[in-house]
Amino acid sequence: LRAGAPTSWSDLNPLTGTMTGNLWGYGKEDGKISQHACFLTAFPYMYSPSVWHKNYPVAQGDRQSPIDIVPHQASHDPSLGPVVLNYDQCTSIKIANNGHSVVVEFDDSDDRSVIRGGPLDNPYRLKQFHFHWGVKGCHGSEHTVAGNSYASELHLVHWNAVKYTTFGEAATAPDGLAVLGIFLQTGDDHRWLNMITDALYTVKFKGSAADFKGFNPKCLLPSSLHYWTYLGSLTTPPLHESVIWIVVKDPITVSEKQFKTSLYISLSDDFKEDGHNNFLIRLRVLLILFLFYPMSRTHISLIFSQNV
Protein backbone atom coordinates (compact mmCIF):
# COMPACT_ATOMS: atom_id res chain seq x y z
CA LEU A 1 0.00 0.00 0.00
CA ARG A 2 2.96 2.28 -0.21
CA ALA A 3 3.94 4.68 -2.88
CA GLY A 4 7.46 5.98 -2.55
CA ALA A 5 7.85 8.33 0.40
CA PRO A 6 10.90 10.48 0.76
CA THR A 7 11.08 12.90 3.69
CA SER A 8 7.91 12.24 5.57
CA TRP A 9 6.17 12.13 8.93
CA SER A 10 9.13 10.51 10.65
CA ASP A 11 9.75 13.41 12.98
CA LEU A 12 6.17 14.55 13.49
CA ASN A 13 5.41 14.03 17.17
CA PRO A 14 1.82 12.73 17.24
CA LEU A 15 1.24 14.33 20.62
CA THR A 16 2.38 17.83 19.75
CA GLY A 17 2.51 18.06 15.96
CA THR A 18 6.09 19.31 16.16
CA MET A 19 9.11 17.78 14.49
CA THR A 20 11.71 15.99 16.60
CA GLY A 21 14.88 14.13 15.75
CA ASN A 22 14.49 10.40 15.17
CA LEU A 23 15.94 7.75 12.92
CA TRP A 24 15.15 8.20 9.27
CA GLY A 25 14.05 5.15 7.35
CA TYR A 26 16.05 5.44 4.18
CA GLY A 27 17.68 2.09 3.57
CA LYS A 28 18.78 -0.14 0.75
CA GLU A 29 16.85 -3.29 -0.03
CA ASP A 30 17.84 -5.62 -2.83
CA GLY A 31 19.95 -2.90 -4.35
CA LYS A 32 17.17 -0.33 -4.21
CA ILE A 33 16.68 2.57 -1.87
CA SER A 34 13.64 2.54 0.36
CA GLN A 35 12.88 6.21 0.89
CA HIS A 36 10.58 5.93 3.86
CA ALA A 37 10.87 7.22 7.36
CA CYS A 38 10.54 5.65 10.78
CA PHE A 39 7.93 7.56 12.73
CA LEU A 40 8.98 8.08 16.35
CA THR A 41 10.68 4.71 16.53
CA ALA A 42 14.14 3.39 17.18
CA PHE A 43 13.91 1.14 14.14
CA PRO A 44 17.15 0.62 12.19
CA TYR A 45 17.27 1.45 8.53
CA MET A 46 16.30 -2.03 7.35
CA TYR A 47 12.80 -1.51 8.73
CA SER A 48 11.11 -0.54 5.50
CA PRO A 49 7.45 -0.32 4.42
CA SER A 50 7.57 -3.95 3.29
CA VAL A 51 7.82 -5.08 6.92
CA TRP A 52 5.90 -2.33 8.72
CA HIS A 53 2.86 -4.58 9.00
CA LYS A 54 4.74 -6.82 11.44
CA ASN A 55 4.73 -4.07 14.05
CA TYR A 56 1.80 -2.06 12.74
CA PRO A 57 -0.99 -4.31 11.40
CA VAL A 58 -2.82 -1.21 10.17
CA ALA A 59 -0.21 -1.11 7.38
CA GLN A 60 -2.48 -3.60 5.64
CA GLY A 61 -5.56 -1.46 6.25
CA ASP A 62 -7.97 -0.12 3.66
CA ARG A 63 -7.03 3.56 3.83
CA GLN A 64 -3.26 3.60 3.79
CA SER A 65 -1.36 6.43 2.11
CA PRO A 66 0.22 7.55 -0.15
CA ILE A 67 -1.49 6.38 -3.32
CA ASP A 68 -1.18 6.69 -7.07
CA ILE A 69 -3.94 8.98 -8.35
CA VAL A 70 -5.48 8.15 -11.75
CA PRO A 71 -7.21 11.34 -12.97
CA HIS A 72 -9.03 9.97 -16.01
CA GLN A 73 -11.06 7.67 -13.79
CA ALA A 74 -12.74 10.60 -12.04
CA SER A 75 -16.53 10.84 -11.66
CA HIS A 76 -18.80 13.63 -10.48
CA ASP A 77 -19.68 14.36 -6.83
CA PRO A 78 -21.92 17.43 -6.58
CA SER A 79 -21.84 17.42 -2.77
CA LEU A 80 -18.33 18.82 -2.60
CA GLY A 81 -17.63 22.52 -2.33
CA PRO A 82 -14.38 24.40 -2.84
CA VAL A 83 -11.61 24.30 -0.28
CA VAL A 84 -11.31 27.62 1.57
CA LEU A 85 -8.07 28.66 3.25
CA ASN A 86 -8.08 31.32 5.94
CA TYR A 87 -4.49 31.75 7.10
CA ASP A 88 -3.28 34.56 9.35
CA GLN A 89 0.39 35.43 8.86
CA CYS A 90 0.61 36.34 12.54
CA THR A 91 0.33 32.65 13.46
CA SER A 92 3.65 31.57 11.95
CA ILE A 93 6.11 30.88 14.77
CA LYS A 94 9.36 29.30 13.68
CA ILE A 95 11.27 27.46 10.99
CA ALA A 96 13.23 24.32 11.82
CA ASN A 97 15.73 21.96 10.21
CA ASN A 98 15.36 18.37 11.40
CA GLY A 99 18.02 17.03 9.05
CA HIS A 100 15.42 15.66 6.68
CA SER A 101 12.95 18.42 5.96
CA VAL A 102 12.12 22.08 6.31
CA VAL A 103 9.35 22.58 8.87
CA VAL A 104 7.43 25.78 9.56
CA GLU A 105 5.30 25.69 12.70
CA PHE A 106 2.21 27.73 13.56
CA ASP A 107 0.28 28.82 16.63
CA ASP A 108 -2.77 26.55 16.62
CA SER A 109 -4.31 27.71 19.90
CA ASP A 110 -7.25 29.29 18.07
CA ASP A 111 -8.93 29.40 14.66
CA ARG A 112 -6.94 32.21 13.09
CA SER A 113 -5.41 29.84 10.51
CA VAL A 114 -7.77 27.15 9.26
CA ILE A 115 -8.84 25.15 6.24
CA ARG A 116 -12.54 24.54 5.64
CA GLY A 117 -14.92 23.43 2.94
CA GLY A 118 -14.40 20.67 0.40
CA PRO A 119 -14.68 17.29 2.12
CA LEU A 120 -14.36 18.80 5.62
CA ASP A 121 -17.34 19.04 7.97
CA ASN A 122 -15.78 21.82 10.04
CA PRO A 123 -12.65 23.99 10.14
CA TYR A 124 -9.26 22.34 10.78
CA ARG A 125 -6.43 24.33 12.37
CA LEU A 126 -3.07 24.68 10.66
CA LYS A 127 -0.32 23.05 12.74
CA GLN A 128 2.71 23.07 10.45
CA PHE A 129 3.93 22.52 6.93
CA HIS A 130 6.92 20.61 5.64
CA PHE A 131 8.46 19.49 2.37
CA HIS A 132 9.21 16.07 0.90
CA TRP A 133 11.77 15.81 -1.87
CA GLY A 134 13.95 13.40 -3.74
CA VAL A 135 17.35 14.10 -5.19
CA LYS A 136 18.33 15.89 -8.40
CA GLY A 137 14.89 17.41 -8.84
CA CYS A 138 12.90 14.23 -9.36
CA HIS A 139 10.95 11.48 -7.59
CA GLY A 140 10.36 13.49 -4.46
CA SER A 141 6.59 13.48 -4.09
CA GLU A 142 4.83 10.96 -1.89
CA HIS A 143 1.72 10.79 -4.04
CA THR A 144 2.03 10.00 -7.72
CA VAL A 145 -0.31 10.92 -10.57
CA ALA A 146 -0.88 8.24 -13.19
CA GLY A 147 2.33 6.63 -12.00
CA ASN A 148 4.38 9.81 -12.33
CA SER A 149 6.03 11.60 -9.44
CA TYR A 150 6.89 15.25 -8.95
CA ALA A 151 10.13 16.78 -7.75
CA SER A 152 8.69 17.58 -4.34
CA GLU A 153 5.50 17.65 -2.29
CA LEU A 154 4.46 20.25 0.25
CA HIS A 155 2.21 19.14 3.11
CA LEU A 156 0.18 21.58 5.18
CA VAL A 157 -0.95 19.68 8.26
CA HIS A 158 -4.22 20.64 9.97
CA TRP A 159 -6.15 19.09 12.85
CA ASN A 160 -9.77 18.93 13.92
CA ALA A 161 -9.94 21.15 17.00
CA VAL A 162 -13.75 21.13 16.94
CA LYS A 163 -13.97 17.46 17.88
CA TYR A 164 -10.63 16.88 19.63
CA THR A 165 -8.81 18.72 22.39
CA THR A 166 -5.21 18.08 21.30
CA PHE A 167 -3.28 17.39 18.13
CA GLY A 168 -2.26 14.02 19.58
CA GLU A 169 -5.84 12.97 20.12
CA ALA A 170 -6.78 14.10 16.62
CA ALA A 171 -3.86 12.22 15.07
CA THR A 172 -5.43 8.89 16.05
CA ALA A 173 -9.03 9.70 15.06
CA PRO A 174 -10.59 8.79 11.68
CA ASP A 175 -11.37 12.44 10.95
CA GLY A 176 -8.63 13.98 13.05
CA LEU A 177 -6.25 15.41 10.45
CA ALA A 178 -6.57 17.19 7.13
CA VAL A 179 -3.45 17.46 5.00
CA LEU A 180 -3.29 19.72 1.97
CA GLY A 181 -0.76 18.36 -0.51
CA ILE A 182 0.88 20.57 -3.14
CA PHE A 183 3.16 19.22 -5.86
CA LEU A 184 6.35 21.07 -6.83
CA GLN A 185 8.02 20.89 -10.23
CA THR A 186 11.23 22.52 -11.40
CA GLY A 187 11.05 25.49 -13.74
CA ASP A 188 10.83 29.21 -13.05
CA ASP A 189 11.81 30.79 -9.77
CA HIS A 190 9.05 30.95 -7.13
CA ARG A 191 9.26 34.42 -5.60
CA TRP A 192 7.54 33.55 -2.31
CA LEU A 193 9.51 30.39 -1.72
CA ASN A 194 12.57 32.62 -1.44
CA MET A 195 11.28 33.71 1.96
CA ILE A 196 11.78 30.14 3.12
CA THR A 197 15.00 29.38 1.29
CA ASP A 198 16.54 32.61 2.58
CA ALA A 199 15.53 31.70 6.12
CA LEU A 200 17.24 28.32 5.81
CA TYR A 201 20.59 30.01 6.23
CA THR A 202 19.56 30.71 9.82
CA VAL A 203 18.95 26.99 10.40
CA LYS A 204 21.86 25.43 8.55
CA PHE A 205 22.37 22.59 10.99
CA LYS A 206 20.22 19.62 11.88
CA GLY A 207 18.16 20.33 14.98
CA SER A 208 18.38 24.10 14.66
CA ALA A 209 15.38 26.42 14.69
CA ALA A 210 14.75 30.13 14.33
CA ASP A 211 11.88 32.57 14.63
CA PHE A 212 9.87 32.78 11.44
CA LYS A 213 7.20 35.43 11.82
CA GLY A 214 4.71 36.99 9.47
CA PHE A 215 4.52 34.23 6.85
CA ASN A 216 1.26 33.28 5.16
CA PRO A 217 1.62 29.89 3.44
CA LYS A 218 -1.20 30.74 1.08
CA CYS A 219 1.40 32.53 -1.04
CA LEU A 220 2.97 29.16 -1.84
CA LEU A 221 -0.18 27.68 -3.34
CA PRO A 222 -1.15 27.58 -7.03
CA SER A 223 -3.84 29.97 -8.25
CA SER A 224 -6.23 27.07 -8.82
CA LEU A 225 -7.14 24.74 -5.98
CA HIS A 226 -8.64 21.98 -8.10
CA TYR A 227 -8.10 18.91 -5.98
CA TRP A 228 -8.39 15.22 -5.37
CA THR A 229 -9.47 14.03 -1.94
CA TYR A 230 -9.60 10.66 -0.23
CA LEU A 231 -9.58 9.15 3.25
CA GLY A 232 -6.04 8.05 4.01
CA SER A 233 -3.38 7.74 6.65
CA LEU A 234 -0.07 8.94 7.96
CA THR A 235 2.51 7.73 5.48
CA THR A 236 4.91 6.29 8.06
CA PRO A 237 4.50 4.44 11.38
CA PRO A 238 2.31 4.51 13.36
CA LEU A 239 0.33 4.77 10.10
CA HIS A 240 -2.83 6.03 11.80
CA GLU A 241 -5.72 6.08 9.34
CA SER A 242 -6.63 9.56 10.46
CA VAL A 243 -5.99 11.81 7.46
CA ILE A 244 -8.42 13.44 5.07
CA TRP A 245 -6.10 14.04 2.14
CA ILE A 246 -6.68 17.00 -0.16
CA VAL A 247 -4.17 16.82 -3.01
CA VAL A 248 -4.14 19.85 -5.30
CA LYS A 249 -4.01 19.05 -8.99
CA ASP A 250 -1.89 21.94 -10.27
CA PRO A 251 1.77 22.04 -9.15
CA ILE A 252 3.75 25.11 -8.26
CA THR A 253 7.06 25.77 -9.98
CA VAL A 254 10.41 26.32 -8.27
CA SER A 255 13.76 26.96 -9.87
CA GLU A 256 16.63 24.48 -9.95
CA LYS A 257 18.58 26.83 -7.71
CA GLN A 258 15.82 26.98 -5.13
CA PHE A 259 15.34 23.26 -5.22
CA LYS A 260 18.84 21.89 -5.45
CA THR A 261 20.76 24.50 -3.51
CA SER A 262 18.62 26.25 -0.95
CA LEU A 263 16.28 23.42 -0.04
CA TYR A 264 19.07 20.88 0.20
CA ILE A 265 20.74 22.86 2.93
CA SER A 266 18.42 21.00 5.29
CA LEU A 267 19.32 17.50 4.14
CA SER A 268 21.92 15.50 5.99
CA ASP A 269 24.36 13.44 3.93
CA ASP A 270 22.54 10.20 4.75
CA PHE A 271 19.68 11.21 2.50
CA LYS A 272 21.41 12.72 -0.54
CA GLU A 273 21.02 9.68 -2.71
CA ASP A 274 18.87 8.85 -5.70
CA GLY A 275 16.11 6.32 -5.72
CA HIS A 276 12.37 5.97 -5.41
CA ASN A 277 10.76 2.64 -4.65
CA ASN A 278 7.02 2.18 -4.96
CA PHE A 279 5.79 -0.71 -2.88
CA LEU A 280 3.00 -2.55 -4.67
CA ILE A 281 1.35 -4.63 -1.98
CA ARG A 282 -2.21 -5.33 -3.10
CA LEU A 283 -5.15 -4.20 -5.15
CA ARG A 284 -7.73 -2.07 -3.45
CA VAL A 285 -10.51 0.29 -4.43
CA LEU A 286 -10.35 3.90 -3.27
CA LEU A 287 -12.77 6.75 -3.48
CA ILE A 288 -11.08 9.86 -4.81
CA LEU A 289 -12.93 13.11 -5.16
CA PHE A 290 -11.61 15.65 -7.61
CA LEU A 291 -12.65 19.29 -7.35
CA PHE A 292 -12.52 20.45 -10.92
CA TYR A 293 -13.85 24.02 -10.97
CA PRO A 294 -13.80 25.30 -7.38
CA MET A 295 -15.24 28.71 -8.18
CA SER A 296 -18.28 27.25 -9.96
CA ARG A 297 -18.62 24.33 -7.54
CA THR A 298 -18.40 21.76 -10.33
CA HIS A 299 -16.67 18.63 -9.16
CA ILE A 300 -15.47 15.24 -10.23
CA SER A 301 -15.21 12.20 -8.01
CA LEU A 302 -12.97 9.28 -8.78
CA ILE A 303 -13.44 5.62 -7.96
CA PHE A 304 -10.57 3.49 -9.13
CA SER A 305 -8.80 0.21 -8.65
CA GLN A 306 -5.11 0.77 -8.18
CA ASN A 307 -2.03 -1.12 -7.11
CA VAL A 308 -0.60 1.09 -4.37
144-145/68-69 β-pairing: parallel
Mean pLDDT of the chain: 74
State pLDDT tens for residues 64-101.
Answer: 999 989 888 766 678 899 999 999 999 999 999 887 77
Interval 270-299 mean pLDDT: 35
Catalytic residue among 36, 53, 100, 143: 100
One-letter identity of residue 20? T
Cα(225)–Cα(163) distance, integer angstroms: 26
pLDDT interval class at 181 (50, 70, 90):
very high
In this prediction, residue 6 carries a pLDDT of 33
State pLDDT tens for residues 130-153.
Answer: 988 765 556 789 999 999 999 889
Neighbours of 188 (CB within 10 A): 10
Give the N- to C-terminal CA distance of the chain in Å, as an integer. Answer: 5
Higher pLDDT, 12 or 1: 12
In this prediction, residue 267 carries a pLDDT of 53
114-117/124-133 β-pairing: antiparallel
Q: Is 100 in the active site?
A: yes
Record the pTM: 0.76
Answer yes or no: are the C-beta atoms of 24 and 38 closer than 8 Å. Answer: yes
Enumerate long-range contacts of 60-64, CB under 8 Å, 24 or more apart.
Answer: 60/1, 60/281, 60/282, 61/1, 61/233, 61/239, 61/241, 62/241, 62/284, 63/230, 63/231, 63/232, 63/233, 63/241, 63/286, 64/1, 64/2, 64/232, 64/233, 64/239, 64/241, 64/308
Q: Which of 206, 189, 218 is nearest to 7 (CA)?
A: 206
State pLDDT tens for residues 205-240.
Answer: 888 999 999 999 999 999 999 999 999 999 888 999
In this prediction, residue 211 carries a pLDDT of 97
Residue spans per domain, the chain:
26-307
In this prediction, residue 230 carries a pLDDT of 92
State pLDDT tens for residues 15-68.
Answer: 445 544 332 222 223 232 233 332 323 334 335 688 888 889 999 999 999 998
**CATH superfamily of the domain spanning 26-307:** Alpha carbonic anhydrase (3.10.200.10)
